[in-house]
């Protein structure tokens, strides 16, 4: 599931950072796939089907590549392989030099691996996949 989370993070970042990315995806002929994917990600029920999300991401990526836009769901200079921070227990107090790092922003839906550091933004970035809701902060020890 971590590869899927990473790809969702890339797509969310692309849509958030590039105001025209939503339209580029639609112009590539995969607007319905984007709508289905975003709806599935926002569903707070049992959670989206990973196989279906992967298929939708592939269709979006392939169509955009044919349209001349490469890496819509698979490449980003800010992509991190670091797991979502709130899924793991914090370090034991005292480890980490006695101070905590500034908070980072993470996916408010806990669906992707997107992480935005404080030196990248001074205000909470938006989660495009989540309906343009603000990302949430997490502290790193």
Q: What is the DSSP string of 14-39?
A: HHHH-TTHHHHHHHTT-HHHHHHHHH
Give first-to-last CA distance, the chain, whole Å: 25
Which residue has 């495009």 as its token pair? 128
- At 84-124, the pLDDT tens digits run 333 333 444 444 445 556 778 888 888 888 888 888 888 88
**Residues 75, 35: Cα–Cα separation, whole Å:** 21
Please say whether the beta carbons of 75 and 10 come within 8 A: yes
pTM score, whole prediction: 0.67
Any domain includes 53: yes
Q: Which two tokens stand for residue 106?
A: 């993470």
Any domain includes 6: yes
- At 68-83, the pLDDT tens digits run 888 899 874 333 333 3
Q: Phi and psi at residue 101, in whole multiples of 5°?
A: -75, 160
Say how many domains are in the chain.
Answer: 1
Which of 26, 13, 115 lies closest to 74, judged by CA? 13
- The domain in which residue 41 lies consists of 2-66
Any domain includes 26: yes
Any domain includes 10: yes
Torsion sign (Cα): 124, 92, 78, 38: negative
Any domain includes 80: no
């Amino acid at each position: 599931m971590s590869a899927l989370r990473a790809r969702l993070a890339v797509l969310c970042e692309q849509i958030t950072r590039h105001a025209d990315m939503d339209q580029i995806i639609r112009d590539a002929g995969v607007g319905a796939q984007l709508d289905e994917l975003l709806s599935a990600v926002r569903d707070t029920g049992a959670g989206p089907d990973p196989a279906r999300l992967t298929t939708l991401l592939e269709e979006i990526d392939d169509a955009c590549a044919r349209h001349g836009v490469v890496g819509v769901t698979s490449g980003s200079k800010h992509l991190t392989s670091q797991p979502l921070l709130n899924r793991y227990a914090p370090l034991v107090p005292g480890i980490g030099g006695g101070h905590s790092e500034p908070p980072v922003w993470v996916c408010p839906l806990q669906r992707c691996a997107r992480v935005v550091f404080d030196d990248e933004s001074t205000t909470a970035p938006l989660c495009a996949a989540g309906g343009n809701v603000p990302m949430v902060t997490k502290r790193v020890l």
